[in-house]
Amino acid sequence: MRKVAIVMGSTSDLPVMQQAIDVLRELDVPCFVDIVSAHRTPEKLAEFGQTAHEQGFDVIIAGAGGAAHLPGMLAAYSPLPVIGVPVKSSNSIDGWDSVLSILQMPGGVPVATVALDGAKNAGILAAQILGAADADLRHRIAEYKQALKNKVENGSTEVRKKFNG
């Protein structure tokens, strides 16, 4: 069974990261959630990064605010794909510090980066990565995207009726 690890720097990141948890649950993708701080628990970060693949994880989603070193450091330690979620936090410079810390990785240490507070997209991207080798999951993702399309089309119909008669 393929699974995703979702880690964040502190509990204050949970409201944002909950979006990834929710979409993975909706897509029936198992996920493990934990707090791993790059600055306050560096040993835990190193151990997790070095052993995540041995624990059966296939993708890591890492959310962090401020200097946001968590995703990059995990990518340095792990052979798994890492998706970084920059979080606009109380110690953030309007979120830009987090975005740039995750986005500007050196060659050889890639981190896929989603939008500021974009944990939902991180969850979808993780599912799509797993879905490349899992036809059932690919089908669930296709159904999820069809539901998004239907929601937009229904909204369009309602707006046209309301404003155009």
pLDDT less than 50: residues of the chain: none
Partners of 34 in the beta sheet? 7
Residues flagged as binding site: 10, 13, 40
The residue range of the domain holding 156 is: 135-165
Q: Decide: 123 and 129 in contact? Cβ < 8 Å.
A: no
20 and 9, same domain (yes or no): yes
- Cα angle 53, 55, 61; round to 5: 60
37 and 82, same domain (yes or no): yes
Q: Output phi, psi for 45, to 5 deg.
A: -60, -50
- How many domains are contained in the chain? 2
Quote the pLDDT of residue 93. 86
Residues flagged as binding site for substrate: 10, 13, 40
123 and 148, same domain (yes or no): no
92 and 162, same domain (yes or no): no
In order, the DSSP letters of 104-116 are -PPTT---EE--T
Neighbours of 3 (CB within 10 A): 16
